[in-house]
Amino acid sequence: MESEIEGLKKSIWKEISNVLNPRFDIGEFSNEFLHNEDIPRIIYNNKSVIPDSIFKKIIQTPNKDSEIYSIALESLALAAFLRINSNEKYSIIFAKCYCALYFTRSESSSSQFEQIFFSTKFIELFGTSYKWNTDDIRLKEFVQSMFYKISKWSEDVDSHKNDIESFKKTL
């Protein structure tokens, strides 16, 4: 089971990496990026928190559209952003936004407006029935620009605030 868990983690990581490359190189997967413990935190010691039991459940009932899969994807997207930018708040925003695009649904959380901000632009470009394809150049460009934008927000909090406030006025 350990090798299956490792394989699943690497597979998800590879999908994220494929979308971010070549602009952002998150490197090869390592368990060092994750905190493998079930604790009530999202990030611990600059690592994404996710126990192997989550991956075990996915292996036992494989369904890429399941809530459990979204937890794994979000945790690995979070770890990917932390590899490039160690700002925890913006790493969480990226992970939530990435999953909002992937699953075509946003989550009620502190990053809800950021999720809607990027989802709106995504729908304008791809429509509502787009099937996630990590080899699609347009998808790569979109996710990379989102990654870049969130990285810039982490460096300039006023820019983040202004972008979201301007966006709210359009709703």
Do 117 and 56 form a contact (C-beta atoms < 8 A)? no
Domain edges within the chain: 2-170
Give the mean model confidence (pLDDT) for residues 73-102.
96
110 — pLDDT class (breaks 50, 70, 90): confident
Does 107 have pLDDT greater than 90? Answer: no
pLDDT at 31: 97
Does 97 have pLDDT greater than 90? Answer: yes
Give the mean model confidence (pLDDT) for residues 93-105.
95
pLDDT tens for each residue of 121-159? 999 999 999 999 999 999 999 999 999 999 999 999 999
Strands 43-44 vs 47-49: parallel, antiparallel or unpaired: antiparallel
CB atoms within 10 A of CB 100: 24
pLDDT tens for each residue of 39-70? 999 999 999 999 999 999 999 999 999 999 99
pLDDT at 147: 97
Do 42 and 92 form a contact (C-beta atoms < 8 A)? yes
Joined tokens for residue 77: 């997207």
Q: Where are the beta strands (DSSP E) in the chain?
A: 34-35, 43-44, 47-49
Percentage of the chain lying above the pLDDT 90 cut: 94
